[in-house]
A and B are shown apart, each in its own frame.
Chain A
C-alpha cells in the first residue's frame, strides 16, 4: 500500500473512534448504557440493524460469491422482509411493553428461570464464538493480501472498537454504525462506477451484464429443482430455501439474537422500532442485489482483462515453494493461453458491437471458461496437498485483489478501511449484547441481585471489555477451525438459532405450554439439530445448513406441545 492509502486508512479509522467517543455521553445506568435511554429515532435503529448484520464478510464475500456462483445468493434474503412483518406484529410490542433489557428476560416472565438461563447461555456461547471467527475471517484475508502479521491484524480488527464500545455503550455503537454505513456505501458505489469505467471503450454497464449473463452469473432466481423434477435439498440458494429457510433464519436472528434485539430496543417507541425494521425489510434485498451486481461487473471486467489463476497470492507462493512448483508452472502456462483466448474472443464480440451472443458464441465462451475453471480446480487440488494444506477457496479474495491491482491510490486505503469499519459495526453490537446478556441474565440473577446504578454501569463496561478480549483470543485460535470460516459462522448460528426461535414461538403463540415442557423440548431439539448436522457431515443425508433453523424451531414446538399434552399432570 502507498503512503496515501495508509493515511486514508488511518484517518478513516481514527474518525470512527473519535466520532464514537464524541457520541458516548449517556446516563450512567443500564438504560443509558445498553438502550441509549430508549430515545433513538427509526433511522438510527435502521442503520444500527443494518450495520450489525453487515459484517466485513458481507462486502468481501458477496462480490466473490457473484463472481464464482452468480447472483443467486440474493435469494438467501427473500425471507427477511416476511420476518420483519412477524417481528413487528408479535415480538416488538411485547418486548417494548415489558421494558426488557434482553430478549431472554421475557422467557422468565413467560416460563421460568431455567428456560431463560438456557437460551441466554446458548446465545452467549454462539455469539461469543462466532464474533471471534468474524474478527479472524477478514483479518486473515487482509493479512494474506497485504502481508500483515495476523496477530496484530486480529488485534486492530477486534480491539480498537473496544475503546468507544466500552466508553459509550449502545449509543456510541448506533451512531458510529450510521457513519460507517455512509462510508461503506459511498466507497462501494465509487468502486462499482470505476469497474464500469475501466471496461474497454464502448462497453457499458448493460454490455457487462450481458457478458456476465452469458456465463450464467445473472441467475438471481433459481428454483432448486433438479433435471429429474426432484427438489435438491443440498442446494443452498434457491427460491424455496430463500423464502422458507431464510424466513426462519431472519426471524431467529432478528427476534432472538440479543445483538439485534438490543438495537431496536433502543428505539424511543414501538412505532420507531417498527418503522426501522420495516424499512430494513424494504432496503435489504436491493442492497444485497447491488453488492452482488458489483461481483458480476468484476467478473465482466476480468473477461476483457487477464484474470489471475488464483486470487490469493499467498497460496500461489506456497505452492511455488513446494515440490509441486513444476505442476504449477504447467497449469499456469496452459491457463494463461486459455485466458488470452478468452480475452480475445470477448473483445472480438465487443468489436462487433453486439453482445446479444448467438448460441454458438455463448458455447465458445463457455468452453474456454470451463477450461479455465478446470485449471483452477487442478491448482486448488495442489493447495490442498499434504505439506501445503492451504485455503483452496479464493472467492473472498476476488474483490480485494481487483481493488489492490486496479483502483487508484487513496481509494485502496478507503476500501481497506471499509473492511475494518464494517467489521467494527457488527463486532461492537455483538460486544454490547454479550455484555448486556451477561450482566442482566447471569450476573444480576446468580451473582449479585442488589446492585446500584453505578455498579451496573461500571460492571457493564468491564464485561464489554472482557468479551472484547475473549473474542480476540478466539480469533487468535481460529486458524484451527480450517478453511471455511464464513461457513463455520453460518453453521454455528444455524445449530442454535432454530432452537432459540422455537422457544420464543412457544412463548408467543402456545399459551398452554409451560416451562418444564419448553425446557426439555429445547434440549431434545438441540440434540436433534446436532444429529442432523452430524448426519449431513458424514454424508448419510444431504441437507443444506439453512434448513437446520426450520428443523430446530419446528422440532422444539412439536416436542413441547407433545410433552405438555402427554405429561400435563406430572409437569404441573
Chain B
C-alpha cells in the first residue's frame, strides 16, 4: 500500500523529478547571469 502511494506523478521515477529540480536551478542561474549582465 505504501509503495503504491509512493509512485511519482507525471514521471516514471523520482530520479526524473530530482533531475528536473536540478536542471531548473541550473537554468535559473544561467538566466540570472544573463539578466545581471544585460541590465548592468
5 more A-B residue pairs beyond the given contacts A82-B22, A271-B8, with a C-beta to C-beta distance below 8 A:
A220-B33, A220-B35, A220-B36, A269-B5, A281-B21
A209-217, A257-265, A500-508, A531-539: which lies at the interface: A209-217
Interface residues of B (CB under 8 A from A): 2, 5-9, 14, 17-18, 20-22, 24-25, 28-29, 32-33, 35-36, 38-40
Interface of A is mostly: helix
Partner of A278 from B2, B17, B40 at Cβ < 8 Å: B17
Q: Are B9 and A221 in contact (CB under 8 A)?
A: no
* Complex Cα spacing A281 to B19, Å: 12
Q: Which residues from A are CB-within-8-Å of B28?
A: 285-286, 289
Does residue A274 face the partner (Cβ distance < 8 Å to B)? Answer: yes
Partner of A221 from B8, B14, B32 at Cβ < 8 Å: B32
| Interface size grouping (class) on chain A | 20 to 34
Q: Are A218 and B39 in contact (CB under 8 A)?
A: yes
Q: Which residues from A are CB-within-8-Å of B24?
A: 81, 282
Residue pairs across A and B with CB atoms within 8 Å: the count is 75
B4 to chain A, nearest CB (A): 9
Interface residues of A (CB under 8 A from B): 74, 78, 81-82, 84-85, 88-89, 93, 97, 209-210, 212-214, 216, 218-222, 239, 268-271, 274-275, 278, 281-282, 285-286, 289
Q: Which residues from B are CB-within-8-Å of A222?
A: 36
Q: Which residues from A are CB-within-8-Å of B9?
A: 271, 275
> Do A216 and B6 contact each other (CB < 8 Å), given the known contacts A82-B25, A274-B14?
no
> Do A270 and B6 contact each other (CB < 8 Å), given the known contacts A216-B40, A221-B29?
yes
Pairs A–B under 8 Å by Cβ, sample size 23? A81-B21, A85-B18, A85-B21, A212-B39, A214-B40, A218-B35, A219-B40, A220-B35, A220-B36, A239-B29, A269-B5, A269-B6, A270-B2, A270-B6, A271-B8, A274-B17, A275-B9, A281-B21, A282-B20, A282-B21, A282-B24, A285-B28, A286-B28
Interface of B is mostly: helix
Q: Which residues from B are CB-within-8-Å of A219?
A: 36, 40
* Complex Cα spacing A221 to B39, Å: 12
In the complex formed, the residue of B with least CB distance to A212 is B39
The 10 closest A-B pairs by CB, nearest first: A213-B39, A269-B5, A218-B39, A220-B32, A281-B21, A81-B25, A85-B18, A270-B6, A221-B33, A221-B32
